[in-house]
């Protein structure tokens, strides 16, 4: 297990922002709950619109549903926009895949993904990430 500090988060978000900057997203979508803080920080750094989705997958540490459930859809118009979907960590990649499908269904012109951490076992590597990990990561907002 690795515990990240707020300083780690600030550094990681700034690294992500530098990687994402050339993409120039119109909207940043955070995946609640873990992706909200990094997504808000990125939307400020990139000066973009912000919204979020809530997707339920994990019910406890290492325990999850068979398929993620979309509980709260986006509320802003995404047609013909470049969208960046952000989460704190991409584990299996299934939550991110549900978010991508939802945003595309809402008419996004282009969709890319970002995460602070990406598990080495993921089925879907985000377009932008800071580091690969093979252990459980505890973020400061989880304490």
Q: Which domains does the chain have, with CATH numbers?
A: 2-142 (3.40.50.2020)
Within a 13 Å sphere around the CA of 125, how many CA atoms are in the beta-carbon half? 9
| pLDDT reported for residue 65 | 65
Rounded average pLDDT over 69-90 = 96
pLDDT at 47: 98
Q: Comparing C-alpha atoms, which of 49, 50, 17, 18 is closest to residue 32? A: 50
pLDDT at residue number 43: 98
Q: Which residues pair with 54 in a beta bridge?
A: 32, 72
pLDDT at 87 over 70: yes
Q: What length is written for the chain?
A: 143
Summarize pLDDT for 24-61 with one digit per residue, the tens: 999 999 999 999 999 999 999 999 999 999 998 766 66
Give CA separation, 36 vs 13, 51, 123, in Å: 12, 9, 22
């Amino acid at each position: 297990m690795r515990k990240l500090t707020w300083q780690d988060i600030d550094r990681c978000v700034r690294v992500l922002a530098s990687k994402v900057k050339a993409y120039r997203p119109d909207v940043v979508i955070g995946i609640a709950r873990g992706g909200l803080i990094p997504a808000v920080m990125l939307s400020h750094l990139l000066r973009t619109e912000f919204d979020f989705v809530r997707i339920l997958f994990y019910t406890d540490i290492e325990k999850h549903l068979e398929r993620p459930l979309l509980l709260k859809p986006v509320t802003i118009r995404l047609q013909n926009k470049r969208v960046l979907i952000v989460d704190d960590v991409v584990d299996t990649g299934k939550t991110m895949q549900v978010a991508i499908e939802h945003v595309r269904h809402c008419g996004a012109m282009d969709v890319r993904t970002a995460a602070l951490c990406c598990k080495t076992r993921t089925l879907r590597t985000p377009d932008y990430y800071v580091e690969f990990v093979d252990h459980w990561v505890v973020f400061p907002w989880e304490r």
